Amino acid sequence: MGGDVVQKFVAKAAGVEIFEALTPLGQPAAVKSTLRDLLDITAALQASRAWTRDPSDATWADERPNSWELAKERLAQLLRATQVMHASEKSAAARAAAAPPPPPPHFAAQPPPAALITALTNASKAIRPGEAKLEKATAAQKANQVVCSSQVLLPLQYDALVAGELLIGSAAARGVAMEEELLRMRALPGSGTPHAATAFVLSAGTRLEGDAQGAVPVNMVQARKDALGCLVSKAKEAVGRRRLTKDVRAKVDAMCEALLAGTIDLDAAVELLGGVAPADHTQLFGYAEADGTWGKISNREEIKKALALVLTMARAVHVPLLGMDTGADGDFGLEQLFVKARLATVDRLATTLREAFALFTAQCEEYRESLSAATPCLRSALAGAIVTALEPLAREQQVRRAAELAAKEVASQIAKDAAAKSTAGGASAAEVTKLRLELAQLKRACEQTDAGELAPYVIT
């Protein structure tokens, strides 16, 4: 078993004492006792989730170590993890025995013990207790810019944060609801840590190729999973259980993944959420209206209905996570946009909304890229789209309609002039040609009207 010193190390880690007078070290009885101690140590580590075997780690790739040096390295990892576990247990017991201090805010983190931080610092950097290893980002995730940069993820890898998250345990163990856990994410201690934690929840939950560490506290991974689950649950409820085929489920999952990362797919949202859900009672089937309808992007009311549901989902996740301002009406200014767009065509309304959602997506991408980026704000994106898209489009629509009306009046006058000349004895070939040219020029003027300016048209 590697000598007397190793047997003593294992016994101490297991919390037992070897009585050398009864079981001399290095003898069969002592070796059996050490093996039992090792089994107890691994069982305790697994039960407390303080350590799990990672087959992707070269140290644990083979079922059995092929050298004494590798065996010692494995044993050292187990003993370090045991130290961390015991330090955590002692600290928890000491806090329980002490007189309770004045209650802090319910989501305020307590500083972890120095011993735990030291143990984590000395632990293997492959993965530490309380951490979850992240998968590498896919090509699609990198192309869509839904992955946090290494700079943004760095504060989530500091030893003090990992130790503190390990100590407080999971949200489920603490009996904390998703909303409260998301609020805690943006109140974490440490420079850049709230930004990093909230940006990770707002991401694809993977890492870039160059991020050597590739791990974050388990609580952040679970917070993202819970947030995504909340969005999917609300979307499925709106779609209706009877319509959730395999293809529809895939569309719902894709829409919610994008929404969590700050991308609102207008067409998908209107299709899935803007129509009428199917009837709940089977006796109503057979009637066309009982099957429900999918939303159409050409219907203003269905667009509004779909977005009302999307914003309800955002209020459940993005508001507690980012602290976004929903405005006086709690709808991020959506109703104001629809009021201003009441005379605009549906196409122009959809263009304005896509502009707003593109602004919000860009804010979220910057937030995942840099710790100095501002917090995304959907209300400001909607307000900005009114200025950058809706108002120019409304002016263009007004000018186009004015041009069309003017064209009709001029065409009518030309037709009257032609009729009068015909009655008076007929127009010359040159006059007829001139009238045809004026009509053609007028038609081009109507077709070229855009950007709020009239195309030049002069009747000679």
Residue 271 identity (one-letter amino acid): E
Per-residue pLDDT tens over the stretch 71-127: 777 777 777 777 767 666 666 665 555 544 554 455 555 555 555 555 545 444 567
Give the model's pLDDT for residue 103: 47
Report the pLDDT value the prediction gives residue 370, as an integer from 0 to 100.
95
**How far, in Å, are 241, 245, 289, 294, 430 from residue 286 at the CA level?**
17, 19, 9, 18, 68
**Confidence check: pLDDT of 414 > 70:** no
pLDDT digits (tens, 9 = 90+) for 45-68: 666 666 666 666 676 666 677 777
Q: Is the pLDDT of residue 423 over 70?
A: no
> Helical H runs in 285-333?
300-322
Beta-carbon count within 10 A of 56 CB: 9
Confidence of residue 460 (pLDDT cuts 50, 70, 90): very low
Alpha carbon distance 26, 20 (integer Å): 10
β pairing state of 215-217 and 131-133: antiparallel
Q: What is the pLDDT of residues 312-349, one digit of tens each?
A: 999 999 999 999 999 988 999 999 999 988 888 899 89
pLDDT of 147: 95
213 pLDDT higher than 70: no
Give the whole-number percent of the chain exceeding pLDDT 70: 65
What number is the average pLDDT over the span 179-198?
A: 95
Whole-number Å distance between alpha carbons of 193 and 187: 9
Polymer length of the chain = 460
Asked if residues 205 and 243 have their Cβ atoms less than 8 Å apart, the reply is no
In this structure, the number of other CB atoms found within 10 A of the CB of residue 290 comes to: 16
What confidence score (pLDDT) does residue 67 get? 77
Instruction: State residue 32's pLDDT score.
Output: 74
Token reading at 292: 């429900």
pLDDT for residue 426 is more than 90: no
What does the domain layout of the chain look like in residue ranges? Answer: 1-101, 104-308, 325-460
- pLDDT score of 425 more than 60: no
Written as six digits, the tokens of 224 are 């993202």
Q: Could you tell me which residues are beta bridge partners of residue 276?
A: 293
Is pTM beyond 0.75 here?
no
| Residues in CB range of 289: below 8 A, 6 or more apart | 276, 279
Where are the extended beta strands (E) located within 128-241?
131-133, 215-217
Percentage of the chain lying above the pLDDT 90 cut: 42
For residues 136-155, one letter each, b for 16 or more C-beta atoms within 10 angstroms of the residue's C-beta and e for the rest, the string is ebeeebeebbbbbbbebbbb
213/300: higher pLDDT = 300
Q: What is the pLDDT of residues 357-390, one digit of tens each?
A: 999 999 999 999 999 999 999 999 999 998 888 8
* The pLDDT of residue 362: 96
> Does the structure show a pLDDT above 70 at 398?
no
